[in-house]
Every structure is written in C-alpha cells, then in structure tokens.
C-alpha cells in the first residue's frame, strides 16, 4: 500500500527503502531511473564525528552539511571528484562510513565500535564493512604497500595524529598519496570557540605517546573519542611542514580545498610522499 509523503518522511532510511521496494519491485540498481517521493531530511548529519559530538554534548551540528550533496534514495553523500583524481590504484580508507562513500579501490581500516556502527545505520541503513580491524596508527600491513591512504573526519578523533601520520607514511609506497578531509572549526558546535591546536601540542602528544587512555580531556569536544584537536588547513599543514623539517615525513602538498567539495563542512589536504 503506498505511503503518503508525509508519513514516508518520518521513516528511517532503511524503512524508506523497504517501502519503496514494496511499491516498486524494480531492483535497487535501477534506482536512478525512478521517480521518487520528495523525501526531505530536516537534519543532514554528514559524518561520524558529528555524531560523536552529539553523543556527549546533546547538541547536534548546525546546518553546515549541505543536503544537496545527499543522494535522496540511498541517503548517502555523493562521491568526491578530487579523491578520484588523486587516489588511484589500491589503498586504504581509515574509518570509512557507509553514508559517506568515496567509491575508491580501498580497504576499510577501523575498529569495531558499536556507536559508530549505529550512527551509520541511523544515517543510511548500512554499515561499511571493516576489512582490517586495526587502529589508525597501527595497521598490520607491509611498508610501502599502499598507493593511497584516505581519511575523512578521522584525524580530529585521534589523540595522537602524528603517530598516525607516521604509520600512514610507512604504509605508502614512494609517490603514494595521503588524502585528508578534516572538519572546519566552524562545522561543529563547541569547536568554533576552541583555539586551533598548535604544532607544539601535536608534537607533545607524540612525544608523550598519548592515546585515548592518556590524552588529557580538558577542552576535548565530546570527551574520549571526540574531537581532541581543532585545525584549519593552514595549521594542519604547518604540522606536516614541521614533521618534514624533522625528517619524520617527506610529504609534498599537491592539492587542497579550503572547503571540501565532498560534504562541505571540512577542508581537504592532499600530500604526496616523496618518490624516492
């Protein structure tokens, strides 16, 4: 029995798909040719980090995630042309989210965390399968084995981003690509008023070998697993420069977006590991 648009809009994404299947037996693969109900989404959470903040603060992100970037049938954000330009070959995505697909030839590296799995189900009815169950900064793969490593809305959740960068550098082949999308300070309530994390802070986290159990929580937006750090494209780029200067990395910035053209609430930095 057809459902009205108003009742349809109150359904979860999974229920919406079930209703659509009942109304139209055509396989989902032909969805693009189908006339769909006008499903509007009042809120449009764009990334797991937004949910991480919501978990601990009762606030939800402002309307910084553009709904026009959402496929109205799958309730997923559209793919990223810049990522397709740079992330060629086979690589890794750190912390993939089903609702924010990149469509690359990548394996998903993540830890199983019920909260994030539920967040993905809430947003699009699916969970991105985990191919390699590991933390971002300790991945059991051979060095030099990856053409690219991509992460979106992950770095800010790491208590020790430098340790992760060094691990990603180890895994990249010479000339490999590190592609990072990081939320803008204005994207999430509670981050905008925080000072940008300094290079010295990042380096101290590394020197003290901070992890989730030891990183101080004062000022951390969302508590354990939340937004440990706040960055602009310039401040995160300064950190990479500092790591280059210390010969810990040899990364050349090859592209950037002041506002990412994926979801639109972050910035994009693209680095190429020195060819040799």
Residue ranges in contact with Zn ion by CB under 5 A? 205, 228
CB 210, min distance to Zn ion, A: 6
User: Based on CB atoms, which residue is closest to Zn ion, 15 or 198?
Assistant: 198
User: Based on CB atoms, which residue is closest to Zn ion, 168 or 228?
Assistant: 228
Question: How far, in Å, are 135, 156, 192, 194, 270 from residue 50 at the CA level?
Answer: 20, 11, 14, 16, 23
Asked if residue 63 lies in contact with residue 82, where contact means CB atoms within 8 angstroms, the answer is: no
CB 259, min distance to Zn ion, A: 25
Report the C-alpha gap between 190 and 50 in whole angstroms.
Answer: 11
CB 228, min distance to Zn ion, A: 5
Which residue has its beta carbon closest to Zn ion? 205
Asked if residue 64 lies in contact with residue 265, where contact means CB atoms within 8 angstroms, the answer is: yes
CB 30, min distance to Zn ion, A: 48
Asked if residue 88 lies in contact with residue 180, where contact means CB atoms within 8 angstroms, the answer is: no
User: Based on CB atoms, which residue is closest to Zn ion, 70 or 239?
Assistant: 239
CB 122, min distance to Zn ion, A: 29
List own/partner pairs for 26-30 with CB under 8 A and 24 or more apart: none
Report the C-alpha gap between 218 and 228 in whole angstroms.
Answer: 9
User: Based on CB atoms, which residue is closest to Zn ion, 7 or 213?
Assistant: 213
User: Based on CB atoms, which residue is closest to Zn ion, 17 or 227?
Assistant: 227
C-beta neighbour count of 193 within 10 angstroms: 9
CB 46, min distance to Zn ion, A: 24
User: Based on CB atoms, which residue is closest to Zn ion, 93 or 191?
Assistant: 191
The interaxial angle of helices 48-57 and 114-124, nearest 10 deg, is: 110
């Amino acid at each position: 029995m057809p459902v009205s648009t108003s009742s349809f809009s109150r359904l979860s994404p999974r229920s919406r798909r079930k209703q659509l299947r009942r109304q139209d037996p055509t396989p989902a693969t032909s969805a693009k040719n189908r006339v769909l109900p006008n499903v509007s989404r009042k809120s449009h959470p764009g990334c797991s980090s937004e949910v991480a903040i919501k978990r601990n603060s009762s606030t939800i992100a402002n309307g910084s995630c553009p709904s026009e970037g959402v496929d109205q049938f799958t309730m997923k954000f559209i793919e990223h042309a810049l990522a397709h330009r740079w992330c060629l070959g086979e690589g890794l995505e750190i912390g993939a989210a089903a609702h924010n697909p990149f469509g690359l030839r990548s394996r998903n590296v993540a830890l199983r965390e019920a909260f994030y799995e539920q967040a993905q189900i809430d947003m699009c009815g699916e969970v991105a399968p985990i191919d390699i169950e590991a933390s971002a900064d300790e991945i059991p793969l051979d060095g030099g084995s990856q053409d690219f490593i991509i992460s979106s809305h992950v770095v800010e959740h790491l208590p020790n981003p430098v340790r992760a960068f060094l691990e990603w550098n180890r895994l990249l082949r010479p000339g490999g690509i590190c592609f990072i999308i990081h939320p803008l300070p204005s994207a999430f309530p509670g981050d905008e008023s925080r000072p940008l994390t300094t290079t010295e802070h990042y380096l101290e986290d590394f020197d003290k070998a901070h992890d989730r159990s030891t990183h101080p929580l004062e000022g951390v937006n969302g508590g354990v697993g939340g937004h440990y750090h706040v960055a602009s494209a310039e401040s995160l780029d300064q950190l990479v420069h500092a790591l280059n200067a210390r010969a810990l990395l040899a990364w050349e910035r090859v592209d950037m977006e002041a506002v990412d053209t994926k979801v639109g609430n972050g910035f994009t930095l693209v680095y190429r590991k020195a060819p040799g």
